[in-house]
Structure 1
């Protein structure tokens, strides 16, 4: 069969709902009617009133978005956390979501396929970018960053940073995976990413959040898990990460 005239289908992340929220202007339901005891205790732990307000606003916005996506009332939304702190919606395993915020701006992603990770950073100067890159980026990513004109490095660094964070949030295994063990690049493109975790290969789709001039955002979706060769119990099987 000739493939002339056909091009590969672009990678697509299943995120039906993806939105930015201005936390300093967000007005939702009173927090005592919506947030859990744990969330209220966490809010009270912030010394800064601004940080406390932004934390509350981000979690109210998340619950409002989940309510709109699922059709559930706020009182029916019960969030729980995995062993490494990744939140999930109790009783609704097919509803995947991720929340990130940078100062007064939040990014919320909700979908119905694989586990999601979202990360956002406000665009700003990063004077220690080279030091941070040496600690968290692959050698090729470090070299690519150093080769850029100075005026392009801040956005490129933050793009790579949010892409790493989005992948790690999607798989939800905390510090078990080093950010230097996988490559995401400095460009806000769509690509597949391979991570090795505890004898398994995890496949993710990675792409940019909707473009804004004041920030960079990234979203990752964990699609599949494959056992490494030599794992007798799972060798050769391809498993859906969210089955």
Structure 2
């Protein structure tokens, strides 16, 4: 699985975004423009643009030819290709994209902040609770979000979302540790999950890469 990280330097909606949104599908465009805050519009737009850029390169097609759709579980798929799997997540100025041509994928990214420890017993396995509670406050926050992102990525992989019996899932089980890739990026914890594609490869995309790619696409269309 390839894991792509992108940081958005500016959460302000401007002329660039007004132009770039033309590469997004109609439904996604409506959703993006319905957001009240610029930061939500920007994150949603660039998550789509990043996905289209990477997928179009893999499929040797144009970004506008790619059609995304979601099933009832809201898991995204590529309508005109069943062999390439992807999933993305974003928080604040950070986007994480997972891509695989071997298996379904699930990803999650979360800012490391003061953890809502009050919910621990409702969502974590007893082994995860021990792992979180055996350390001091600062480490507790990091361990909380390590387990949280693993749980999110695992349930997004299966399509069950957080309606699954979360306390039954032990993301620290050694027998499934090879399915996870968890790492820090900026002030975030990132996790990718796949049962069959465990050759995790981490890549970083610069915002200028996005601008340059779509500038070329725009010229091709013109």
Q: What range describes the TM-score normalised by the shorter chain of this pair?
A: 0.7 to 0.9
Aligned residues: 193
Which residue of the other structure, out of 112, 126, 150, is the alignment partner of 1:139? 126
Which residue of the other structure, out of 166, 182, 186, is the alignment partner of 2:169? 182
The one-character-per-residue Cα deviations of 1:24-83 (angstroms, maximum 9, x if unpaired) are: 459789344211111011112211122112211221111112112222111211111122
2:191 is aligned to: 218
Shift of 1:124: 2.1
Which is helix-richer, 1 or 2?
2
For residues 81 and 104 of structure 2, what CA distance do their matches in structure 1 show?
12
Which is strand-richer, 1 or 2?
1
For residues 22 and 212 of structure 1, what CA distance do their matches in structure 2 show?
10
**Comparing 31-40 with 103-112, which one deviates more in the overlay?**
31-40
For residues 180 and 173 of structure 1, what CA distance do their matches in structure 2 show?
14
Q: What CA RMSD, in Å, does the superposition of the two structures yield over aligned residues? A: 2.5
Shift of 1:213: 4.6
The reply on whether 1:77 has 2:66 as its aligned counterpart is: yes
**Comparing 115-124 with 53-62, which one deviates more in the overlay?**
53-62
Instruction: List alignment gaps of at least 5 residues for structure 2.
Output: 198-222
SS in 2 for 1:160: helix
TM, length-normalised to structure 2? 0.78
The reply on whether 1:51 has 2:25 as its aligned counterpart is: no
The structure with higher relative contact order (CA 8 Å, sep 6+) is: 2
- Give the conservation status (yes or no) of the 8 Å contact 1:21–1:105: yes
For residues 33 and 132 of structure 1, what CA distance do their matches in structure 2 show?
41
Which residue of the other structure, out of 121, 139, 159, is the alignment partner of 1:152? 139
For residues 94 and 206 of structure 1, what CA distance do their matches in structure 2 show?
21
